[in-house]
Amino acid sequence: MSESRGTRAWRWLREHAVNIVAALVVVYLLLPIAVILLFSFNNPQGRYNYTWVGFTLDHWAHAFSRPELNEALVTSLKLALLATAVSTIVGTMMALALVRHKFRGRRLANFLIVIPMATPEVVMGAALLSFFLIIGTFSLGFETLLIAHVMFCISFVVVVVRSRLIGFDRSLEEAARDLGADPFETFRLVTLPLIMPGIFGAAMLAFALSIDDFVISNFNSGTTVTFPLYIYGASQRGIPVEVNVIAMILFSVTVAAMGFATWQQRRAEKMASVRPEQEEAPMMPMPGTAAAQ
Amino acid sequence: MRRRIVPYFLLGPGTIWLVVFFVIPLYYMAKLSLESGVVGSLEFNWHWANYSEALSAYDTQFVRSFYYAGAATLLALLISYPLAYAIAFKAGRWRNLMLFAVVAPFFTTYLIRTIAWETILSDESPVTEFLHTIGLAPSGHILATGPAVIAGLTYNFLPFMILPIYASLERIDVRLIEAAKDLYSSAGQAFWRVTLPLSAPGIVAGTLLTFIPAAGDYVNAQFLGGAGNRMIGNVIQSLYLSQADYPSAAALSFVLMALIMIAVVVYIRFAGSEALMGEEAR
């Protein structure tokens, strides 16, 4: 007995319903990125880049033709690099302490790390501004931005590195010790290379959080302008198309960096096979996955 | 003796940073919220009226923030689950590509993404016309309404919902689901009684990671909402940065933080504490 075409179509639909919904969600996720890309080729007549006028490559050819925008971008990159360096070092140390050592105040330290992630950004920004205004030691600008960015990156670094350390096979370190390595050599030659992919992932996350931060920077920047703050300022008088071009350039660079990180992680896993029973980790440790672990 | 110092040495710099630039600022803001007077001659005098005045002046914005954030969280959950499920169980070799699609929005600046939605939801856009045609936007306008703000919040925090749900689904031992089917459960029963409960930690983590930033957000309301859609974040921002009414803004920040903490605690009591505290709460 053969099924009617209708029932078969219905069965197909039911079997693939989840995939169809998933595909639609993927389209939804990528739609704004497509719009940003499309409007980077737009040729608006006025100052506002909201409606499609016509195709041009001019803005890609002159991506860095706006000095104020370039300056903001350089500030953002400098800030993100410094904030990443400091928060990655400090956060990795904290993660090592929390996973490797039993000590008094461990719960308190954990609480101190979780609580900034559970605080809305606007509250963190407002609290820091209150602090800076009252104590008056720091003048609002690059310095206060760096302090703020390191502060909100630390927790995320700890969470990412910690999830990597938890799956760590400590017998490798014991082997190094048995073979005569002192604690520092063991750390430098065994531990560090093995947790490096985790540290690298944490650093990338910190960099992404810092370069994209708007709310906390909005409160603590003084007259310093970062890339997101430039966009915010420009949004009232019309955002230049070059912003879309630079956004797409940043997007491509990040994608390339992520591809590199995935490749490096796979290589490290193959070389060391630290966790042979585990499947490959998701490409980039994000706050969400890490917090759920 | 030396070993006992090691963890404190490792923790030291980070702890100092978080105490000096997170905890102490909260203390200063608490003090500020109880001061009275105008900028330049603010005086600390336990001025609790800042709280009652701020609350009665901005209660609608508080209610609106929690309503928008709640709606966005619910929508994000409904959208995320099928995608997370598909990535975990059905994607096969497409898995990495789909995970890439999930995190891709993070690689474009938050503000530009939101401004892109301003374009997508504007009156002339094909999306608005389509929604108007199928009757979902009867007036033909979406921008500068509550639903536009909710849509923006949903989109911007969606990856925070998808990733933890995916992480918890991916860890499920497929044999448990097979066992349920061997014991004559239907596919639906196996989902509702095995898969869904096992993914609960991911759902809890995801809803928290979406709700908390959404409740304090002011970017979406500013770009996608109108004058009638201001959230409490917008109020705090303008009191701090344009009106220099620090005591009221500080009081509002504390109320917002307290309300979110209460919501989180109630939710965790209700849903289980594993998700937020990670390893520690188990």
Q: Which residues of B touch A93 (CB under 8 A)?
A: 10-11, 13-14
- Mutation target to probe the B interface, by most B beta carbons within 10 A, among A15, A20, A24, A25 is A25
Q: Which residues of A touch B275 (CB under 8 A)?
A: 291-292
| pLDDT tens digits along B15-52 | 999 999 999 999 999 988 888 777 777 777 777 888 88
Enter the tokens of residue A195.
Answer: 């947790």
- B:136-175 residues touching chain A, CB 8 A cutoff: 155, 158-164, 166-168, 170
A93-to-A27, B28, B208 alpha-carbon distances in Å: 40, 28, 27
Average pLDDT, chain B: 83
Domain A65-292, CATH: 1.10.3720.10
Q: Which residues of A touch B87 (CB under 8 A)?
A: 22
> How many Cα atoms occupy the beta-carbon half-sphere of B129 within 13 Å?
4
Instruction: Count residue pairs from A and B with Cβ separation < 8 A.
Output: 291
Mean pLDDT, rounded, for B224-252: 87
Evaluate if residue B2 carries a pLDDT over 70: no
- Mutation target to probe the B interface, by most B beta carbons within 10 A, among A25, A106, A122, A275 is A122
Q: Which residues of A touch B25 (CB under 8 A)?
A: 124, 127-128, 130-131
pLDDT band at B154 (very low <50, low <70, confident <90, very high): very high
Mean pLDDT, rounded, for B99-118: 86
CB contact under 8 A, B110 and A287: no
Query: Could you give the residue ranges of the DSSP H alpha helices within A102-141?
Result: 106-117, 121-135
Fold of B59-281: MetI-like fold (1.10.3720)
> Could you tell me if B97 lies within 8 Å of chain A, comparing CB atoms?
no
pLDDT band at B196 (very low <50, low <70, confident <90, very high): confident
Interface predicted TM-score (ipTM)? 0.85
Nearest to A130 among B13, B167, B246 (CB): B246
- Measured in angstroms, the CA of B267 and the nearest CA of chain A are apart by 13
| pLDDT tens digits along A20-46 | 888 888 888 888 899 889 888 887 877
| pLDDT tens digits along A72-104 | 999 999 999 999 999 999 999 999 888 888 888
Evaluate if residue B123 carries a pLDDT over 90: no
Inter-residue contact A173 to A186 (CB < 8 Å): yes
Q: How far apart, in whole angstroms, are the C-alpha atoms of residue A123 and residue B236? A: 9
CB contact under 8 A, A128 and B21: yes
| pLDDT tens digits along B48-79 | 888 888 888 888 888 999 999 999 999 999 99
Mean pLDDT, rounded, for A185-212: 86
